[in-house]
Each structure stands twice: as C-alpha cells, then as structure tokens.
Amino acid sequence: MKLSRPVSWFLLAFGVWSWFIWVSFVKNLWNDASGLAFDAAGDPTAYFWVHLLLAVTSFLLGTAVGIVGLRGLRALRREKNPAPATSPAPPGPTP
C-alpha cells in the first residue's frame, strides 16, 4: 500500500501527539491527590490501573501509527530520489 505525503505526516503527527498527551496524563495520574488514583494508604486503586492500562495501550498504538507514518514518508523520499543504479559485480572465476 502506498501512503500519500499528507496521510504519512498525519500518522506521524498522531503518534507524536499520542505520546505527548498520554505522558502528561500519566504524570498527572501519578501525582493525583484527589483520592481517585491512590487510596488513603497510598495504594493504587482500580481507577489507577485502568487508566495506566489505557495509557500503555495508547503508547503502543501511537508508536505503531507513528512508525507507519514515518515509513510512508521514507518510502516517498526514496521514490523521489532513487538510489543510483549499481553495476553488477563481475563474475568470479568458476572452479
């Protein structure tokens, strides 16, 4: 499948955006003082674990989507500037 330049940029930007948003969210979750993420004893709650799982999943999906976008851009660059053709190696002596 061939991706267009705008689609490739969008996928790459989405991957970067996903990391930015979810890293910020995890920092806020970790520093939560409202009692949602940690109980009175300081132990993580179900809210914490569910949202941490969402963040990890989003990190993985954001990475995968970003890699697809990056590979699309690299393929377009190679298509625009193809590598110079190399001459085949001369045949070696046959025993």
Cα-flanking dihedrals φ and ψ of residue 34, to 5°?
Answer: -85, -15
Q: Domain residues of the chain, as ranges? A: 3-78
pTM over 0.75: no
Task: List the one residue out of 16, 30, 22 whose CA is nearest residue 67.
Answer: 16
* Interval 34-56: pLDDT, tens: 889 999 898 999 999 999 999 99
Q: 2-32, pLDDT tens digit by residue?
A: 889 999 999 999 999 999 999 999 999 999 8
Provide the mean pLDDT of the chain.
88
